[in-house]
A = this chain, B = another copy of it.
Amino acid sequence: MTSRRQTIADEIRSQIVTGQFQAGERLPSETSLASQFKVSTSTLRSALALLQSEGLVDKSHGKGNFVGHSSHRITYIGGGRKPQADPPVDPTLRVTVHASRLQAQGHLIPLMRVPANTELTQFVCIRNEGPPPHSLARIYVPGHLSQEGLHREQPSLANFETGLPLLCPPPTELRERLTARLPTRDEVEILRISPTLAVLDITRVAIDGTGRVVEAALLVLPSHRSDAYFITRPAPTAERREG
C-alpha cells in the first residue's frame, strides 16, 4: 500500500518537472489543492513537505507555495577549501556577526579540548541572501588565540566563500561531522524555516600541529536548500598496487 501523501507528492512533482507549473510560479492554495485531491489539508501539507525537502517547493507563510528555484541552493565546501569556480555572488549577501566572550561549559569542553571555564570567544554569524536567512554559524575560538588574532580574524570571518567562515591560519587538521536533525526553536526563528523540516548540522573542528583546537564551528543549514561538498585526493602515498 502506498500513502496518499506520496501519490499526491508524485503527482505535483511531475507537474513541476514537466513544466505545467513554472519555476517561481505560485501553486494553488493548500485548501484548493486539498479539495482537488480530495484529502484533508494535513495530508496535503505533508505531501508538500516532501517536495519542499527536495527543493522543488518553497513555502512562504501568508504568501503561498512556490515552485522552487533549484539554483538558490547553499553549498558548503568541506575540507577548508575555497570553491574553484567562483560562485555567483549574490549582491544581497549580508552577514551579521556578533562577537562575545564566554567560559567553556557543557559540550564546548570536549569540543574545544579545554578545561571547564576556559575563556572562549564566540562569534554568531547569520548569513542573509535575500529576505530569508540562509545559515547560522556559531564559532568558538580559544581566548588566548582571539587576543592575538582577533583583529586578523575579523576580515577572515567576513571572507565567506560560500557564506560560511573559514580560518585565517590554515590548521593542520580539520574534522567535520555532519548529521541531520530537526531544528531547535531558536533555529526555526532565526532561519525562518519550518520546524518539521530537517537542518544540516555541521560541526567543524580545526586542530593545529600541537593537537590544540584553534577553532570549533557549529553550522546549521536548512536542508531543503543546502548541499555540502567534499573533494579529496587520496594521498598517493606508497599505496600497494596490484600489478
Residues in A lying within 8 Å of B, measured CB to CB = 2-3, 5-6, 46, 49-50, 53-54, 78-80, 152, 169-182, 185, 195-200, 223-224, 226-234, 236, 239, 241-242
- Assembly CA distance A54 to B229 (angstroms): 23
Q: Which 5 A-B pairs have the closest CB atoms?
A: A198-B198, A180-B180, A180-B223, A79-B232, A53-B182
Assess the B234–A177 pair: CB atoms within 8 A. Answer: no
Q: Which residues of B contact A199 (CB under 8 A)?
A: 180
Q: Which residues of B contact A239 (CB under 8 A)?
A: 170
Q: How many copies does the complex hold?
A: 2
Min Cβ gap A55→B in Å is 8
Assess the B231–A174 pair: CB atoms within 8 A. Answer: yes
Known: A78-B230, A171-B234. 20 other contacts (CB 8 A): A3-B195, A6-B185, A50-B182, A53-B198, A79-B79, A79-B232, A169-B241, A169-B242, A170-B234, A172-B234, A173-B232, A174-B232, A174-B234, A177-B227, A177-B230, A178-B229, A179-B200, A179-B223, A179-B227, A180-B198
Q: Which residues of B contact A198 (CB under 8 A)?
A: 53, 180, 197-198, 223
Question: Which residue, of A78, A169, A197, has the highest number of chain B Cβ atoms within 10 A?
Answer: A78
